[in-house]
Amino acid sequence: MTNTNTPTNTPIRVALLGAGTVGSATARLIVEQQEELEARIGRPLQLVGVATLNPDSAKKYPWIDPSIITTDTAALCKRADIVIELIGGLEPARTFVLTAIESGASVVTANKALIAKHGPEIFAAAKQHGVDIYFEAAVGGAIPIIRPLRESLAGDRIDNIMGIVNGTTNYILDEMTTKGLDFDTALRDAQAKGYAEADPSGDVEGYDAANKAAIMATLAFHTNISIDDVSVEGITSITADDIAAATAEHKVIKLLAVCDRSEAGVSARVYPALIPDTHPLASVRGSFNAVFVKAQAADDLMFYGRGAGGDPTASAVVGDVVTEARHIAQGSIGPDIPMYAQLPMAPVEASRSAFAVRFVIHDKPGILAAIASVFAQHGISINGVNQDLKPTLHEPGYSGELQQLRLVTHLCDEITLRKVVEEVKQFDAVTGDATILRVMD
């Protein structure tokens, strides 16, 4: 760690790993704002290296000095005061981050998968070697949510976090809601506009949001919660009819990352849910993100903004770089991340919610009564029934009319609800998969 006797004109050396969309934007901010950043920090920042597997791709950016581009990432990690990791993925990112820490460099990263899987290991290494680890850009892009959880709310108790933390799925669901598109059409539109990858599974299956849920829960509950602890459901089963039913009930469907603390323990989950159109999260449109935090003293807080993109994410990355550079300039380090609580994970049966369940059924007398009877046998009370939705599915070999039956339950536990759904699906008059959505107040 640099001490306070270091001359104020000695540059703080910054190494950048990765020169993709976010990496190139980060380099541009550091280079183009050099004088202003120096004024904020008290010492100049010097970009001493940019590591990339494809040097020619980095050379197309005029603000990156070609002489500092390298393919020797490990060596670069050992000659910097701050290492910015924007490679993504688990390996070799984990190895490079630990190499940087062991060499006495602090680390700034946007790598949600790395922090969600190996966060405690990296936090412990940073503490051992007297350096910092910052990762504001790992959740919510430009939205400042990590620092509030880590520092601003350190004097409070957080009981619940509920957020829209994946712009791709929010854009798809918003397009389905506002334009009446089906899932596949909305996904193709998102890919054409650059909001979705060619392989969108990480987004639409909920895994991207799950990494972010693990990070937020770890910080909020001071407990090691990894990606392996997060229950994940995506949005691929959501149909245009689900969207239409939600709209008719003055609700919207959003993919939520939900972190809870209760007497049963803590949980982190990702799932699509119905929320009232009056809820603050209902107004989050397009690729924007928002996180709703409930704390005991601060009460309700909402953080909103652009959750992805080169420039917004680079803004969060450079913000962390400035924070760490100030620490180096002052000969200090920031607060560590205490994992003192180690609260138990709440069992799945502790989760209770109202649910909306959609079945596709043959139009036969008595089928509704038979389905309702199964729910009643398992102690699940039905709050509402809708059998007037127009069908969009056809069953080969069946010439009769297919109806869509939608049941909304009172509060019940999820395990029982899913058992009931599986039992109902065995009826000859029930076809295809059922859609299960939580109903949030």
SS3 9: coil
Q: Which residues pair with 12 in a beta bridge?
A: 45
Which amino acid, one-letter code, is at 299?
A: D
Burial class (CB in 10 A: 0-12, 13-18, 19+), 4: exposed
Choice among 212, 251, 390, 419 that is catalytic: 212
Task: Flag whether 78 is marked binding.
Answer: no
Assigned token pair, 392: 């969009």
For 262-320, the DSSP string reads ETTEEEEEEEEEEEETTSGGGG--TTEEEEEEEETTTEEEEEEEE--SHHHHHHHHHHH
Any known ligand binding at 153? Answer: no
* Residue carrying the six token digits 């972010």: 212
Q: Is residue 37 annotated as involved in ligand binding? A: no
385 annotated to bind ligand: no
Task: Report the DSSP beta bridge partners of residue 385.
Answer: 407
Burial class (CB in 10 A: 0-12, 13-18, 19+), 423: middle
Please name the amino acid found at residue 360: V
- Kindly report the length of the chain: 441
Strands 288-295 and 299-306: antiparallel
What's the rounded Cα separation, in Å, for the pair 305 and 167? Answer: 10
**Cβ-Cβ contacts under 8 Å for 7 (sequence gap 6 or more):** none
31 is in an annotated binding site: no
Alpha helices in 292-424 (DSSP H): 310-330, 367-377, 414-424
Is 422 annotated as contributing to ligand binding?
no
Is 20 annotated in a binding site? The answer is yes
Q: Is 197 annotated as a binding residue?
A: yes
Is 212 a catalytic site residue?
A: yes
Q: Are 334 and 132 in contact (CB under 8 A)?
A: yes
Taking a C-beta distance cutoff of 8 angstroms, is the pair 183, 114 a contact?
A: no
Judging by DSSP bridges, how do beta strands 265-276 and 251-262 pair with one another?
antiparallel
SS3 content of the chain, % helix, strand, coil (to 5): 40, 25, 35
Q: How far apart are CA 192 and CA 197, in angstroms?
A: 9
Residues noted as catalytic: 212
Binding residues for NADPH: 112
Residues forming the annotated binding site for NADP(+)?
Answer: 17-24
Binding site feature residues: 17-24, 112, 197
